[in-house]
Structure 1
């Protein structure tokens, strides 16, 4: 694939960027403005959802009713709850497993087009693996597993640059790009483990810089899990910052419920204040069998995060059904195919 604007092969463009870094020619020779995000605080509070399973669910005959019990386009239903943004994950070389595969950059780009056509913003999330990476698992793509750090760094430059250009080719400019998923312990371990902070930072900075090279005005997030464990989040952010890590927004996952919400929100505010970066809750959810609790907890997060100037909250796969991958943290009742009252939390 080539850059459609310059018709210069990606690898040559990447080499030019690397040369700029080696000669000290500014921020990866991208220009001073290329690594600066627009003021994130100016935007309205974002209410969003990750619906990356949507194409596979549709392909397997799943559908959704609105609160009146009428079958309706999922995007239309979500917008009725005030949702303005969709989070989409992408994997490097995924399998065809309906729940744990798909989400290649081509598939993700096609779903991003559907989001754009529905009038919804897109958060593009890189896992840097062939399937799930999370707070407890950070496996590199199989094709990268035997690489040296230098080789993996090249692979990261190529992969993110190519992926962002695929999204661009499909006519979508992401509102945000998320580099890594719940990276408390690092990425692509062991090479990018937090115990090797310079390498971890190098890999993530490569992703940051290539995202900015293709989408200069799009803010880039790092993503940490479990803000209730403040020390774990701070451990990553300290290592990343102290090794020259670049990021615009701190993304946080929290599935806290009930009385746990307020102290988690307080920790989120501490993280925002301590690192000078706005926070965004990029994952939330709760037991599908306790919709009132999930609704009230969602309201608590939205009002709390908005209250200290955080940027938004995303519900993780609210459209999921228990019969699809045994998922039990959605906001849809599978028997009636209607949204549960959990979705009313977005009216906060």
Structure 2
């Protein structure tokens, strides 16, 4: 099943939108949340557990005027997150997220410069920094892995060389800026491979994983080469659908056969799309033991309200709560606490962390998942706007939600 979590509405969402219609931007949830839920307990996890967030939208949001508040005081959102126990920031990077005429594609316009900027802010606030290299000009996921502009006519050997040279450029730019990532993803949600069609993981001549492995090795090799003696970096390979054990066994068995060198297995887990939590636990426990690798939930989220902050329908409306978690701040916090503790419970301490996806994506005008140019590039024509605002860890006005308290140490 093709899942494009940021672009395509599921049948459930479409049905609920037809019933409910688009919500007003003046929702009651645009006010600070009552202190009655401030007693949310932190997750019980190990001291070195990764409590991460993907904040790739923040540079664009701040450019467009977004403001963030803690106890009524405007603050740097990274400082707010640090105050709440967040210890890792994740940033995606796209090769050239704009048209040849310089029109931005949207989705945070995730350039190398913005990734470096946020990496510095992470380190300045005592956090670590995960760089997520997509090897595309725009969103990548199991349903789309487009080559960057200018790479389309390269033959396979040239494409392998381009992955290496581009990765080298990305890492040298970080070195020159004085901010080396602590962890690097080579590719994003790689279920179906990368750099289609050459790097696709299925549907070809039987040598799909031979080609995919060469592309991955080219990127991984350049990442590792960028670090000096005494420095270290962890390499993550990341798939979506965390509840699908058959998928993870198939993909990582093939990668392991080809001796791809990586350190961490990453999973995306959006509970309303990717199955019950029990299946996620079974999968984490199995693959951690099977490959003897640490596991991270590299993306997850849950809604704190069923209301909508802008003109674009929410990706998850909350009309059907997941496994009894109410679509409230308390429900969001309980989900986040439970998924953290589930990962932490993996055998042999191999469940090492989670990253919450886009907790700061406020419904600010212009902070859209895609501009008209971005939609044309992916041939995915949908409304502009923010389908994620009800899953942030800040309310529509930028007040930090008590659910972020889950990240704090006990």
Distance (whole Å) between structure 2 residues aligned to residue 121 and residue 274 of structure 1: 28
- 1:327 equivalent in alignment to 2:343: no
Cα deviations across residues 121-156 of structure 1 (Å, max 9, x unaligned)?
A: 100110110011012211111221221110100100
Runs of 5+ consecutive residues of structure 2 not aligned to the other structure: 1-45, 203-207, 306-326, 369-385
Q: In the alignment, which residue of structure 2 is the partner of 1:236? A: 251
- Tell me how far 1:98 sits from its aligned partner: 6.9
- 1:210 equivalent in alignment to 2:210: no
Contact 1:126 1:180 in 2 (8 A): yes
Distance (whole Å) between structure 2 residues aligned to residue 233 and residue 132 of structure 1: 22
- 1:259/1:236 CA distance change after superposition, 3 Å: closer
SS at match of 1:113: helix
- Tell me how far 1:203 sits from its aligned partner: 0.2
Root mean square deviation of aligned Cα:
2.0
Contact 2:243 2:275 in 1 (8 A): no
Contact 2:304 2:331 in 1 (8 A): no
Distance (whole Å) between structure 2 residues aligned to residue 205 and residue 259 of structure 1: 31
- 1:292 equivalent in alignment to 2:330: yes
Runs of 5+ consecutive residues of structure 1 not aligned to the other structure: 1-41
- Tell me how far 1:43 sits from its aligned partner: 8.1
Runs (4 or more) in structure 1 with deviation over 4 Å come to none
- Tell me how far 1:284 sits from its aligned partner: 1.1
Pairing of 1:46-125 with structure 2 (within 5 A): 46-66=50-70, 68-95=71-98, 96-97=103-104, 99-100=106-107, 102-125=109-132
- 1:265/1:113 CA distance change after superposition, 3 Å: same
- 1:181/1:272 CA distance change after superposition, 3 Å: same
- 1:200 equivalent in alignment to 2:203: no
Number of residue-to-residue matches in the alignment: 305
- Tell me how far 1:327 sits from its aligned partner: 3.1
Match 1:272 to one of 288, 305, 316: 288
- 1:286/1:209 CA distance change after superposition, 3 Å: same
SS at match of 1:75: helix
- Tell me how far 1:274 sits from its aligned partner: 1.2
SS at match of 1:237: helix
Distance (whole Å) between structure 2 residues aligned to residue 80 and residue 141 of structure 1: 38
Distance (whole Å) between structure 2 residues aligned to residue 198 and residue 98 of structure 1: 32
Looking at both structures, which has the greater relative contact order when contacts are Cα pairs under 8 Å and sequence separation is at least 6?
2
Distance (whole Å) between structure 2 residues aligned to residue 259 and residue 237 of structure 1: 20
Match 2:341 to one of 285, 303, 311: 303
Cα deviations across residues 232-252 of structure 1 (Å, max 9, x unaligned)?
A: 222211121112222111111
- 1:142/1:98 CA distance change after superposition, 3 Å: closer
Match 1:282 to one of 266, 282, 298: 298
- 1:283/1:344 CA distance change after superposition, 3 Å: same
Distance (whole Å) between structure 2 residues aligned to residue 187 and residue 47 of structure 1: 27
SS at match of 2:97: coil
Distance (whole Å) between structure 2 residues aligned to residue 134 and residue 105 of structure 1: 19
Q: In the alignment, which residue of structure 2 is the partner of 1:30? A: none
- 1:177 equivalent in alignment to 2:184: yes
- Tell me how far 1:76 sits from its aligned partner: 1.3
SS at match of 1:333: coil
- Tell me how far 1:97 sits from its aligned partner: 3.0
SS at match of 1:160: helix
Cα deviations across residues 100-137 of structure 1 (Å, max 9, x unaligned)?
A: 25222223112212222222110011011001101221
SS at match of 1:192: coil
Q: In the alignment, which residue of structure 1 is the partner of 2:400? A: 339
- 1:135 equivalent in alignment to 2:142: yes
Q: In the alignment, which residue of structure 2 is the partner of 1:222? A: 237
- Tell me how far 1:344 sits from its aligned partner: 2.9
- 1:144 equivalent in alignment to 2:156: no
SS at match of 2:243: coil
Contact 1:272 1:278 in 2 (8 A): yes
Q: In the alignment, which residue of structure 2 is the partner of 1:313? A: 354
- Tell me how far 1:93 sits from its aligned partner: 1.1
Q: TM-score w.r.t. structure 2 length? A: 0.71
Q: TM-score w.r.t. structure 1 length? A: 0.83
- Tell me how far 1:79 sits from its aligned partner: 0.9
Contact 1:101 1:131 in 2 (8 A): no
Distance (whole Å) between structure 1 residues aligned to residue 292 and residue 239 of structure 2: 16
SS at match of 2:68: coil
SS at match of 2:150: helix
Contact 2:56 2:108 in 1 (8 A): no
Distance (whole Å) between structure 2 residues aligned to residue 176 and residue 341 of structure 1: 28
